[in-house]
Amino acid sequence: MTARTTRIAAVAIGLAATATLAAAGVAWRGRPKAAEEIVVAWRPLGSWSGYGNTQTESFISDTGFLRVKWKTVDRANPEPGSVASRQTPDSARASATSFRATFHSAVSGRPIALAVETRGAGTDAALVQEDPRTYYVVVESSGLDWSFTVEEGVAGVVKGRR
């Protein structure tokens, strides 16, 4: 066998393999594909409640994708519409109350991300995307009862779901 014959044989084998794979690919693509859906599941990492300033215990995030669900209630006026709420204008009362929740590195202590900063009573959720690491949360609050939960998002693919 000469070098030229060897090259021709290699090209022929390559073309035959390509044609076989292409035919298999067409047949494979022709089959109905199972439905796939990317979903995020939320795993609880901790819940805290209180008033005033505090620092939580540390917790580990394996993904760095965090959700903070929080709620604040005015300590002086826990029920909107009460007699006490009519004595102080809402805007003046709200500016006197505050809630901040900041993620810190449990290794260095440095602030990583401000998750919540609000004035007055309310409820909401915030997302934080950071690196996986050990965190703790520093709460700075004035005039509010507060509660919050930190959850970690874990993404996955669900097949065959309809």
CATH number assigned to the domain comprising residue 40: 2.60.120.380
Residue bearing tokens 């779901």: 161
Query: Is residue 44 located within the same domain as residue 75?
Result: yes
Q: What is the reported pLDDT for 91? A: 53
Query: Is residue 90 located within the same domain as residue 111?
Result: yes
SS3 at position 8:
helix
**Number of domains within the chain:** 2
Query: Is residue 45 located within the same domain as residue 117?
Result: yes
- Greatest extent of the chain over all pairs of C-alpha atoms, in Å: 103
Q: What is the reported pLDDT for 85? A: 46
Q: What is the reported pLDDT for 84? A: 47
Query: Is residue 1 located within the same domain as residue 80?
Result: no
Q: What is the reported pLDDT for 12? A: 47
Q: What is the reported pLDDT for 24? A: 54
Q: What is the reported pLDDT for 161? A: 57
Look up residue 72 and give its two tokens: 């604040």
Range of the domain at 19: 1-31
Other C-beta atoms closer than 10 Å to the C-beta of 30 total: 7
**Do 135 and 58 contact (CB within 8 A), yes or no?**
yes
Residues of the chain with pLDDT below 70 are 1-34, 79-95, 161-162
Q: What is the reported pLDDT for 73? A: 96
Beta bridge partners of 43: 152
Query: Is residue 3 located within the same domain as residue 61?
Result: no
Query: Is residue 11 located within the same domain as residue 64?
Result: no
Q: What angle do CA 53, 59, 60 make, to 5 degrees?
A: 145
Q: What is the reported pLDDT for 83? A: 45
Task: State the Cα–Cα distance between residues 62 and 68, nearest whole angstrom.
Answer: 16
Q: What is the reported pLDDT for 20? A: 53
Query: Is residue 87 located within the same domain as residue 132?
Result: yes
Query: Is residue 27 located within the same domain as residue 41?
Result: no
Q: Is the pTM of this model over 0.85?
A: no
Amino acid occupying residue 149: T
